[in-house]
Amino acid sequence: MARFEYAPAPESRDIGRLKEHYGIFVDGAFRDGAGEAVKTINPANEEPLAEVAEAGPSDVDDAVRAARRAFSPWAALSGRERAKYLFRIARAIQERSRELAVLESLDNGKPIKESRDVDVPLAAAHFFYYAGWADKLSYAGFGPDPKPIGVAGQIIPWNFPLLMAAWKIAPALACGNTVILKPAETTPLTALTLAEIIAEADLPPGVVNILAGGPEIGQAIVEHDGIDKIAFTGSTEVGKIIQRTIAGTGKRVSLELGGKAANIIFEDAALDQAIEGIVNGIFFNQGHVCCAGSRLLVQESVADEVIAALQARLMTLRLGDPLDKNTDIGAINSAAQLARIRELTDSGEAEGAERWSPPCEIPERGYWFAPTVFTHVSQANTIAREEIFGPVLSVLTFRTPAEAVEKANNTPYGLSAGIWTEKGSRILWFAQQLRAGVIWANTFNRFDPGSPFGGYKESGFGREGGRHGLEAYLAH
């Protein structure tokens, strides 16, 4: 197949308005944290982007004090006024969307077309959606006069840095809580730019505090006596530690953890669309997606056809400069994550699965991993069980619907699943049978602020998005 070459179309790095130095945001003011000053780097070329003066434990204390002080007046403010602050934030994200998209792609390594078309618009939409709830909480089905919980400690991952900040902050503020948000250590820049937006929106000091920092700051937040609720998105391993840590403290918690989603292709599926869905399912955001469709279950009768078509499609993916508008696959976010992906894929080979990647030029510098497909995978293989969190697809086959369900559910996770078939009754049957919080039928990786998102089993509990997302931030 002829390969079309595209001229480079890079977005300008200057649009990101990258600063040399970032601090933390506490009590309405920017300052250097008491922790170390670390360099955040561009994973696409390993060059430092900026210095971040991270928070230390004393900053957590300060942030909690500020958030506690801010809580009563913020909770007492009329919902209508709280809503207007959130609408302001939504609008400001839209105004600065191009800047935020560039900054996100620089710091995270994701392709600009994704940060531009997915992360940033969805972040704005999330604030806009929850803004409208702030003065309508008594209609939300949580009683006639629902109350906020208090101070929320929110810890988010590096895969969707701005979007996860929006998912956490927007519903918390709409319900009248105040927050301390900790972005991931490798991706603090868009959250700190969001802090600027929040400051410019004139939010009362202390309502939102943003602490750049590493795991020890996350731990300090989880353990802090002045915090009433923990919201965490990240690995199941850390989620369990958090659940143990808060035992007996009376803290509320919501957890959005790992996944190992099955994407199930039936022989009657619209295969061209299914191939696009498979690619989107696992290679969107380099597979750094907790709900990624990392286990492909193909009906045996079409397995060869699907794998051949998938391989042909993967030959057309463009891996490279995240700021290039033609790029499909960006950089892996960190050296540590790249090492983990390599370790797991090596185990895939060692355990007997067959590895395939399209021929693809890997840039000399930076953290990169070619899209990879494993066939001849058994359910017992590590790559079929553990979350890889990278652009790696494991292909398994099935013969009957019952077998597909059994294999799909054969995991401690339960975040998402996909089903591709032209038969409506089969879709609804699978939607019932699959033990997962989000089912994408004839589509994959769709997100919307009005659509509840969250897991079954060890993928966590609590929902983000929609009316359901309010529950995690209301007292009961």
Partner 1 sequence: MPTKAKPSKAPERLRVRKTYKLYIGGAFPRSESGRSYPVTGSDGALLAQAAQASRKDVRDAVVAARKAQPGWAKATAYNRGQVLYRVAEMLDGRREQFAAEVAAAGDAVPNSKALFTVDAAIDRWVWYAGWADKYAQVVGASNPVAGPYFNFSLPEPTGVVGVLAPQDSSLLGLVSVVAPVIATGNTAVVVASEERPLPAVSLAEVLATSDLPGGVVNLLTGRVSELAPWLASHRDVNAIDLTGVAAEARPELQRAAADNVKRVYLPSHTDWDADPGTSRLAAFIETKTVWHPIGV
Under 8 Å between Cβ of 141 and 467:
yes
Judged by CB under 8 A, the residue of 111, 239, 259, 330 near partner 1 is 239
HEC string of 229-295? EEEEECCHHHHHHHHHHCCCCCCEEEEECCCCCEEEECCCCCHHHHHHHHHHHHHHHHHCCCCCCCE
Which of 44/297 has CB closer to partner 1? 297
- Applying CB under 8 A, which part among 101-109, 326-334, 392-400, 436-444 lies near partner 1? 436-444
Give the span between the Cα atoms of 472 and 465, in whole angstroms. Answer: 10
473 forms part of the interface with partner 1 (CB under 8 A): no
Q: E strand or H helix at 15, and its extent?
A: none
60: helix, strand or coil: helix
State which residue, 23 or 171, has the beta carbon closest to partner 1: 171
For partner 1, give the closer residue by CB, 307 or 417: 417
For residues 236 and 263, which CB has a smaller minimum distance to partner 1 in the complex? Answer: 236
Which x/- pattern, by CB under 8 A, does the window 109-128 give for partner 1?
----------------x---
Q: Rounded to the nearest whole angstrom, what is the least distance from the CB of residue 210 to partner 1 in the complex?
A: 27
CB 209 within 8 A of CB 26: yes
The single residue among 116, 269, 437, 470 that binds partner 1, judged by CB under 8 A, is: 437
In this structure, what DSSP letter does residue 299 have?
E
| 240 is an interface residue for partner 1 by CB under 8 A | yes
Question: Should residue 442 be labelled a site residue for partner 1 when binding is judged by CB under 8 A?
Answer: yes
| 263 neighbors 276 (Cβ within 8 angstroms) | no
Q: Which of 227, 460, 473, 474 binds partner 1 (CB under 8 A)?
A: 460
Residues annotated as catalytic are 256, 290
Smallest CA-to-CA distance from 91 within 131, 135, 136 is with 131
Only segment of 13-21, 287-295, 369-377, 440-448 that touches partner 1 (CB under 8 A): 440-448
How many angstroms separate the CA atoms of 31 and 192, rounded? 11
* Contact mark string toward partner 1, 255..274, x via CB under 8 A: x-x-----------------
Cα–Cα nearest to 9, from 111, 132, 150: 111
- Give residues in contact with partner 1 (CB under 8 A): 125, 141, 236, 239-241, 243-244, 246-248, 255, 257, 412, 427, 431, 436-443, 446, 448, 450-454, 456-461, 463, 466-468, 471, 476
